[in-house]
Structure 1
Amino acid sequence: MADTVVITGISRHLGGAFARRLSGDRSVRRIIGVDIVPPRHGIGRAEFIRADIRSPLIGRIIDDHEVDTVVHMNVIATPSAGGGRASQKEINVIGTMQLLAACQKAESVKALVVKSTAAVYGSSPKDPAMFAEDMSARRMPRTGWARDSVEVEGYVRGFSRRRPDVAISMLRFANVIGPKIRTAFTDHFSLSVIPLPFGFDARLQFIHEDDVPDALALAVAHPGQGVVNIAGDGIITASQAANIAGRPYVLIPKFIAGSVTGSLQRVGLVDVNPDQLDMLSFGRGLDTTRMREVMGFTPRYTTRAAFEDFARGIPGRPLHRALPFAQPGWAAVQAAQGAIGAPAASEESEL
């Protein structure tokens, strides 16, 4: 059972949500949150220490407070959230290396929980219907956060060989979605007209933002879960997602989709990379048998329910007239669900 827990990335939306969730567990005596900027949201009874995980200071924090459990949530999904791609990679990869080096030296550390991502499986036309935890990507992620996450997982495996006494849980979350969090997917499906690759209708799986802290808390309470896929039941297709969002969508040939999303990125409407475009083309499915039968976790939201909860918070109203080159479908959704409500505040880009 965890006694003193360090949470990295506590100033980000999910870091704060997890700190609040863990604060309700009275078996955890002390919670310490570290980040390079103070949190703008509540962190429950966690104590905030301003520190950069790329700095040796993280080692002193772990030693001085005799930390027994480390929850690593400071892997940044989008370059804009990290101050550019170079800074993003440095925080994700170098920061993880420094954190693991500190954990390796600290005899007090007995458990490590890593918030990873299903993006490590990549997305390609050769993928299986469902990825189990022992499968590898048919085509490795090429850029950005997904590639960083592959490196992060490699360093964690190396750490486990050097410290076999430390119980490790590495949770591979499906794309996180909800009314408060901002991600590349929430940006994309909030556009007035949603561009989708022509000739594809990707299978998408999501996990609700409220289910993420619950899964992490379970991994803290029951350490040593190993690698576990975390996703809501079922799938929806990209076109269904656009309809649920109450938006028309326009089909664009894949070879020019990058140019279109690149233009949207330059004006600050979306923050995408080639791997995310592949995801919108080929999708990804996760086998969650281990999540249920071994870890004993069941998300409160299905994939569809999670996306519907996000859709209710999309800013503005659906378009009143479908464009001639766009696919209809939003009108029926609007009639069935009512007008989409006002947006909830989001704090940063995160997946």
Structure 2
Amino acid sequence: MNRPALEAAPAAGGRTGTVSLRTLSEHLGLSMASISRVLNGSPAAQAIPKATQTRILEAAREFNYRPNQLARSLRSGQSTSVGVLIPEISEGYSAAVLAGIEETLSSAGYAIMMITHHHRAEVLERSERQFAERAVDAVIAVDTALPLFGPIPTVTVSCPDPHPYVTNIVLDNARAAQMALEHLHGLGHRRIAVIKGQSFSSETEVRWRAIEASAASVGLRFLPERVAQMEEDLPTSEPGYRATGRLLHQGGDFSAIVAFNDMSAIGAIHALLDAGRSVPEDVSVVGFDDIALASIHRPTLTTVRQPLHHMGVLAAQAVLETLNAPPESRASARQIMVAPELVVRSSTGRWTGAESESV
């Protein structure tokens, strides 16, 4: 067979991706189906001899072959992309969940289109149009007040409000709050303060209700002056620092703090130390999440661990399961609850002061 000569790929920075699958087929003397199976990593490619697979891969590299993703999408009806809505990219919660999502989808051949909304309503409203324009196959919303995406498959992470046909990955907040309160109660703490999450966080109220219920079960109560809510939209320890300052200004009559997350707990520790109080000798501090910084901060942070990376993996797996299922068999709204774990470190200690109220 007279095979057409292929022009080598241009140098870096030049025009690339001009060789078609048909031309590659004619050059190699192989069917387009066989070449496609090898280049796409299809299980059917295992039936093709290794030497032939090597020839195909070497030719694709030599001539800088790039698949026509648009054509593939039109044929399959899928873009092999997933939209991800997330408040911001920062150390801790968001990064850990996103890593689980990206790793799982990438290994399945999917790309992600990410929108960081910083809790801005106009960005959330615009996201539906942007995802539609890019024809994403599904959406994953992380710690986000969920917009409506119509028929598009949607999975949420830490979104307590149920939506039709939406799978939600959530922490067992009731058990998490119970772990934190029982730990402090067992150490003799009765005057416990709480740092609530910001009003825009999807988990703030559900976690606060869980903490209130767990406190009541062990005979504790929260006086108004022992509750402070974070206000600033910052993914740092600053909101926790300022909330603790308000707690101290409101009287400071507490021996322990339960913080909304680890970053706010770290901010609380800094505020206490700046106010001349030692941790945990004067005040014990408990966080939520178990981010990487929790184990290296001084003092190391006692926290309720969320399996954040695993929650991202579960969200991506739920998307893939939905996309691979026939539309008529897709599940209605469901919730996948993950278990917390108490990690005790050096930011909590036994209370040795005078007895205080227990009701």
TM normalised by structure 1 equals: 0.32
Bigger radius of gyration, 1 or 2? Answer: 2
TM normalised by structure 2 equals: 0.31
